[in-house]
Structure 1
Amino acid sequence: MLNFIGKVVNQKNLPIKDAKVSLEGLGIPLVNHTDGEGVFRFAINIISGNNINVNIRVEAEGYKPYNRFSELSIDNKNLEEIRLIKNDIDNPIQPPVAINVATIGAIATVAAALIAGVAMFLSNSKVKPPTPPPTPQPSTVSINSSPVKIKPNPEPSSLTSTKRKSGFAEVDVRLLEGKKVKFAGSTVLAVLLCSPNSSGDTGIHHQIKLAHPNLQLEYILPDNGKPPNSGEGIKMLINDQVDFVISSRTPTPREEGQIRSKNSELEKIKVAKYPIAIVVNSNVDISSNRGLTLEQLRRIFAGNIRWWNDVGGSDQVITPYVHIAEKGALFTFLRNVMVERNDQVGNNTLYVSSTTEGLQKVAKNPGGIYRVPAPLSFNQLPQSLQTIPIVNKNNETALPYKEDPNFKFKPLNNCKDLNNNNLLNTENITSAPINTKYPEELIEPMYVIFKNTNLSGRSYAELLLTAQGQKMLEHIGFLGIPQ
């Protein structure tokens, strides 16, 4: 059962009663109206899959219609806040007629110039419309116990609905050229750039620049001294400090509300996924045959299990380390599970300001444990640290990547290929040995997030979603996004 609950408010954050809310894209549109608190509710039984993609349309008397494509998930527990903007005719302050006429004339002049500019751009760009994708097979959704056949929509703001380009050179990057394009975001950027201290032009960006020499991508750190993370990146995007963000989570309703107050919308495109590794001090003595279950992992970070010998390890006190960016966050597997069960983060949890610091702390603490993006750590740890296997739903122990006795996969070693001064022939590089038995709860997404008023992020995402980009991401430890 997918429960989609939201609230419709005006620009003063007051609830709007009797607003019509429609979910389009499910064959027969679902319609509901907000109550006195501005709240609407939909209950949808999904027979196949965990997500559906819909167009959310909201109409209310005196307000401009609201439209947005969104992916609804059974895992999303957040309240969706939708802010409507009043029609101009409802503005109580009416300017004199002479000013209105002048304003209309100015608008008409600007509109004419814009239309002429768009026409010239289209005639000069020689961009052909994309080939329509093959018609997807319908999936089945049951709405209020009445099965309805629907066609799945593409992911919101996704580029998977059109045929992807094969290489970087085929992507139109005119929105990115002629200026410094600034970006920020998650700690996993260190893998993307193949360096924790990059200015933004290394790793896969180096390969992109070989195809587009005039492209200038600049990595921006938070100016408040806080460590880089998804939340800080999105805050910088809202404050116009960057053009787009690489994030391991989607924006919260609060963040979406903040950007709407500036007459913009946040768009997101999923470009890759990556496994999370569980790293411990080698002294905890958890064997590779035993590993930890997800339930044990939850209880360890919740502070319910405090000794390693309670899970088959050594006689050591457990010390969980967590990145400060995750303090109070609800976006990772561990935090989501805790919230659903009404658990609190254990008072034995210690916070660190960076992944490097987290690994250093665990290396010095005989009972330490830390979660880290696997591409940053796998087979690249000192002897004092180890990545422990996790038990999946089939009671099989699994590491993030498959082990090969003849070859140790080291993601950051593969980065050397991306920093080569020749554009890589992706047919000659191998993909990371992703372990498909690793629990999906420890696989995190990577999004490009941007404003609908600044589409630099869309062009950037299109680069990463080319066949060439996906192959390079897979080479350094990511999972690609299927076409």
Structure 2
Amino acid sequence: MAGWICNGIPKDNKPHPEQHTSGEHEPYENFGSDCVICGLSKEAIVGGSKVPIKIIAAATAGVVVVAILLWILYKIFNSDSPSQDLVNDNLVTPNPFPTSATTSTSNSSVSISPPPKITTYRTFIDVSDIPQMNVRYGGSTSFAPLRTPQNLPQMELLIEQAHPDFNLIYTEPPPGIKPGSGAGIQMLLDSQLSVAQSSRPLKEKEYESAKTRGFALEQHAVAIDGIALYVNPEISIPGLTAAQVKDIYTGKITNWNQVGGPNLPITPFSRDPEDGGTPEFFREKVLSGESLASFVQPYVRDTTESLRKVASTPGGIGYATASEVCNQSTIRPFPLARRQGQPFVEPCVGEIVNQAAFADDSYPITRRLFVIIKRDGTLDEQAGVAYTNLLLSDEGQEIVDQVGLVRIR
């Protein structure tokens, strides 16, 4: 397919709704239907089919001549090695053929300077340095309360009211990949997202993967969350210790009568620890790194499936982000104690998350939620910092509090 050059200025000099980055930019050769830098369509730049053939032929001949001259100059002044850019003190060879959003966002080709900073603000509208662009984000399912809160406006809508050109687009993983922290971080590494959400800290291998690609990853805690355990409504127990939860999921306790319940086999449900931050955190912190018992499989895809399975399975038990559990009527959350002899602490107060217990760490299973940003000197970095600053603003933290998570500041 023949390429076409875009400099950000449409042929008719009129606004075009598909253009997410307005204004002139360096000429860039595109091979698809839209410019990867500004989003303008090929038709907006080169016009439709009504251009006279003679003009097209003359223009084509001119382009060929210019291309030959540029090729000669390139051979004179450059070596045979591919062109490279300096990003974060690393030489990076740019990809001349960026493709659709399944493999690359269109915001990773535009450089920014100086690097934006994490700063606290009062309101969304106070947050500065907001880029005008489509921002693809995704990852941890523990952030779901911020995307689809009960009886509250979505955070995305409130942000877009304050910054109409900062268009947040929640993006699912490619087909066949389950949603979760790991999937979101990998999509960020692969330039399929501008910013990722994670319910676990970054791993060393993820830092290294970013480094080999010529940029750095950075994590910023934006909320505190608790993991709630829940059972089939017909199971009546006063609570469990953290050690008893571990023994259930590693196969040492297999009947509810071993922990003060009815004579009924225990059926534990879990997501795959390799797919999500929550099950991975559960394995590492609650199970002390031990593997889940073999009978826990097959794994459920997400929290919704876990809730349904536990509700329909006598003896069922599951776990998830507390804010996704407390308002559910088909299952029963139950209290936990750190160890034998200590008081049980409820994850929920009625249908509301027990935020006080999560904040003072009296509840046994809490963790931090992170925004992962990509320090690559492009609009994706600017978008990641802007999104983090929005969540850490006073207004953002108030919404974090309202949806059942716990504010970090």
Q: What's the TM-score, normalizing by structure 2?
A: 0.66
Alignment partner, residue 163 of structure 2: 212
**Counterparts of 1:354 and 1:457, CA distance in 2:** 26
Aligned residues of 2:347 and 2:363 also touching (Cα < 8 A): no
Task: Using the TM superposition, give the Cα deviation of residue 440 of structure 1 relative to its aligned residue in structure 2, in angstroms.
Answer: 5.0
Alignment partner, residue 307 of structure 1: 255
Query: Is residue 169 from structure 1 mapped to residue 121 from structure 2 by the alignment?
Result: no
Report which of the two structures shows the higher radius of gyration computed on alpha carbons: 2
**Counterparts of 2:228 and 2:197, CA distance in 1:** 20
3-state DSSP of counterpart to 1:190: helix
3-state DSSP of counterpart to 2:135: strand
**Counterparts of 1:158 and 1:443, CA distance in 2:** 28
Specify the code of the residue in structure 2 equivalent to 1:365. T
Alignment partner, residue 361 of structure 1: 309
Aligned residues of 1:474 and 1:480 also touching (Cα < 8 A): yes
Alignment partner, residue 389 of structure 1: 335
Deviations 1:401-420 (A, max 9, x none): 4x3xxxx4447xxxxxxxxx
**Counterparts of 1:325 and 1:338, CA distance in 2:** 11
Specify the code of the residue in structure 1 equivalent to 2:161. L
| Greater relative CO, 1 or 2 (CA 8 Å, sep 6+) | 2
Deviations 1:257-293 (A, max 9, x none): 2221211111111111111110111222213xxx100
3-state DSSP of counterpart to 1:322: coil
3-state DSSP of counterpart to 2:213: coil
**Counterparts of 1:469 and 1:409, CA distance in 2:** 22
Deviations 1:358-404 (A, max 9, x none): 0111111111111111111103222xx10010013571111124x3x
Deviations 1:39-60 (A, max 9, x none): xxxxxxxxxxxxxxxxxxxxxx
* Shift in alpha-carbon separation, 1:258–1:357, aligned structure 2, 3 A: same
Alignment partner, residue 345 of structure 1: 292
Higher helix share: 2
Identity score, percent: 29
Task: Using the TM superposition, give the Cα deviation of residue 316 of structure 1 relative to its aligned residue in structure 2, in angstroms.
Answer: 1.0
3-state DSSP of counterpart to 1:296: helix
* Shift in alpha-carbon separation, 1:255–1:437, aligned structure 2, 3 A: closer
**Counterparts of 2:374 and 2:386, CA distance in 1:** 12
Task: Using the TM superposition, give the Cα deviation of residue 355 of structure 1 relative to its aligned residue in structure 2, in angstroms.
Answer: 0.8
Alignment partner, residue 466 of structure 1: 393
Specify the code of the residue in structure 1 equivalent to 2:371. V
Q: What's the TM-score, normalizing by structure 1?
A: 0.56
Higher strand share: 1
Task: Using the TM superposition, give the Cα deviation of residue 224 of structure 1 relative to its aligned residue in structure 2, in angstroms.
Answer: 2.4
Task: Using the TM superposition, give the Cα deviation of residue 323 of structure 1 relative to its aligned residue in structure 2, in angstroms.
Answer: 1.1
Q: How does 1:287-302 map to 2 (within 5 A)?
A: 287=238, 291-302=239-250
**Counterparts of 1:211 and 1:158, CA distance in 2:** 20
3-state DSSP of counterpart to 2:177: coil
**Counterparts of 2:359 and 2:189, CA distance in 1:** 37
Alignment partner, residue 91 of structure 1: none
Specify the code of the residue in structure 2 equivalent to 1:207. L
**Counterparts of 2:112 and 2:281, CA distance in 1:** 43
**Counterparts of 1:388 and 1:396, CA distance in 2:** 13
Q: Which residue among 347, 353, 368 is the counterpart of 1:445?
A: 368
* Shift in alpha-carbon separation, 1:409–1:285, aligned structure 2, 3 A: closer
Specify the code of the residue in structure 2 equivalent to 1:380. Q
Alignment partner, residue 25 of structure 1: none
Q: How does 1:46-445 map to 2 (within 5 A)?
A: 99=78, 159=118, 164-175=120-131, 177=132, 179-194=133-148, 203-287=154-238, 291-326=239-274, 331-340=280-289, 343-350=290-297, 351-382=299-330, 385-392=331-338, 395-401=342-348, 403=349, 408-410=350-352, 434=357, 439=362, 441-445=364-368
* Shift in alpha-carbon separation, 1:308–1:277, aligned structure 2, 3 A: same
3-state DSSP of counterpart to 1:208: helix
* Shift in alpha-carbon separation, 1:285–1:236, aligned structure 2, 3 A: same
In structure 1, the gaps of 5 or more residues are: 1-95, 108-116, 123-156, 412-430
3-state DSSP of counterpart to 2:231: strand
Specify the code of the residue in structure 2 equivalent to 1:476. V
Aligned residues of 1:378 and 1:387 also touching (Cα < 8 A): yes
Alignment partner, residue 422 of structure 1: none
3-state DSSP of counterpart to 1:266: strand
Aligned residues of 2:140 and 2:197 also touching (Cα < 8 A): yes
Aligned residues of 2:232 and 2:332 also touching (Cα < 8 A): yes
Task: Using the TM superposition, give the Cα deviation of residue 445 of structure 1 relative to its aligned residue in structure 2, in angstroms.
Answer: 1.3
**Counterparts of 2:112 and 2:333, CA distance in 1:** 54
Equivalent residues, number? 301
**Counterparts of 2:180 and 2:260, CA distance in 1:** 34
Aligned residues of 1:284 and 1:316 also touching (Cα < 8 A): no
3-state DSSP of counterpart to 1:224: coil
3-state DSSP of counterpart to 2:141: coil
Task: Using the TM superposition, give the Cα deviation of residue 441 of structure 1 relative to its aligned residue in structure 2, in angstroms.
Answer: 4.3
Aligned residues of 2:246 and 2:286 also touching (Cα < 8 A): yes
Specify the code of the residue in structure 1 equivalent to 2:386. S
Q: Cα RMSD over matched residues? A: 3.3
Specify the code of the residue in structure 2 equivalent to 1:338. L
Task: Using the TM superposition, give the Cα deviation of residue 326 of structure 1 relative to its aligned residue in structure 2, in angstroms.
Answer: 4.5
